[in-house]
Amino acid sequence: MTTRTTAPPALDVKNVTVRFAGLVALDDVSFTVAPGTLHAVIGPNGAGKSTCFNVLSGLYRPTTGTVRLGDAELTRLAPHRIAALGVARTFQNIVTTQGTVADNLMLGRHALSRAGFAASALRLPRAVREQREHLAKAREIAELTGLGAHFDAPVALLSYGDRKRVELARALCLEPRVLLLDEPVAGMNAAERIRMTEVVREIRAELGLSVVLVEHDMGLVMRLADEVTVLDFGKAIAHGTPDQVRRDPEVLRAYLGTGTTGEDAA
């Protein structure tokens, strides 16, 4: 896998508010994901984490506020335009059980294809060459995410942990500069969580991309995050390193107020 030499631009979330009818799901939220860092967004249930992710990936338009990736304003772009600027996301719920691992990763390469449909269908030399290059890249990403041995296997036959990593690998096939990880270990057993933690570490080291992580598993957040933003009732109540936020009185109040404590809730 080629290691990226240029750092991704900063991702800047500025004064973002999202209103649904009378409800304020995000209330004037600002934070910056510094280039090449892993930034976690945590908070109790209903705090606004998914809303925040949906704004970053373009599924929701904020009522006010902006999201910028370097010089590019993402705020009003459609999801596929945001993806084309190098922001890829995973989804909390695994959506695919169709096809092989290779098929799914090639879907992730689709947005990067230059040869048109007709050229591919006619198997013109340029299209054939491009297809071969995409397949080689997909195989590299499968290796990096621990799926190399399953490259030609049907996804439906894989374990839950492996399928979650197919979802991650599919997003990586877009060669993103920023990866949005939506609860990557949800529903996993302890061994699968450890494996996913290792893989996230490896992709960061190898690809140098920025990662935004929404995750309920506080152990994972504390092990992986460089910086954490804590949401509560739509407001950002704390920012800092994992150590700083875990000792922040406002954060403790937010979690204790929901009846959850310790490392298993976010």
Ligand X SMILES: Nc1ncnc2c1ncn2[C@@H]1O[C@H](COP(=O)(O)OP(=O)(O)OP(=O)(O)O)[C@@H](O)[C@H]1O
- The H or E element that residue 212 is part of is strand 210-214
Strand partners, 182: 214
Give least dist CB 211 to ligand X, A: 18
85 and 92 Cβ atoms separated by less than 8 Å = no
Determine if 99 is a binding residue for ligand X (CB under 6 A): no
Determine if 43 is a binding residue for ligand X (CB under 6 A): yes
Determine if 49 is a binding residue for ligand X (CB under 6 A): yes
Cβ closer to ligand X: 1 or 256? 256
For ligand X, how many residues bind (rule: CB under 6 A)?
11
What gap in Å lies between CA 32 and CA 75, rounded to an integer?
A: 15
Give least dist CB 55 to ligand X, A: 10
Question: Strands of 64-69's sheet, edge to edge?
Answer: 23-33, 11-20, 64-69, 72-73
Cβ closer to ligand X: 17 or 50? 50
Cβ closer to ligand X: 167 or 215? 215
Residue 28 CA, chain-centre distance (Å), reads 22
Position among 15, 45, 63, 97 found at the interface with ligand X (CB under 6 A) = 45
Phi, psi (degrees; rounded to nearest 5) at 73: -90, 120
Strand partners, 154: 100
Give least dist CB 222 to ligand X, A: 18
Give least dist CB 252 to ligand X, A: 18
What gap in Å lies between CA 224 and CA 39, rounded to an integer?
A: 9
243 and 208 Cβ atoms separated by less than 8 Å = no
Strand partners, 228: 40, 240
Determine if 50 is a binding residue for ligand X (CB under 6 A): yes
Amino acid identity, residue 263?
A: E
Amino acid identity, residue 29?
A: V
Give the interface segment with ligand X, choosing from 47-55, 80-88, 106-114, 237-245 (CB under 6 A): 47-55
Determine if 265 is a binding residue for ligand X (CB under 6 A): no
Position among 8, 9, 36, 48 found at the interface with ligand X (CB under 6 A) = 48
How many alpha carbons lie under 13 Å from residue 262 in its C-beta half-sphere? Answer: 3
Cβ closer to ligand X: 61 or 132? 61
Give least dist CB 54 to ligand X, A: 8
Cβ closer to ligand X: 173 or 225? 225
Determine if 47 is a binding residue for ligand X (CB under 6 A): yes
Position among 51, 75, 210, 229 found at the interface with ligand X (CB under 6 A) = 51
Query: Which burial class, exposed, middle or buried, applies to 150 when counting CB atoms under 10 A from its CB (0-12, 13-18, 19+)?
Result: buried
**Interface residues for ligand X in 3-42 (CB under 6 A)?**
20, 23, 25
Residues that bind ligand X (CB under 6 A): 20, 23, 25, 43, 45-51
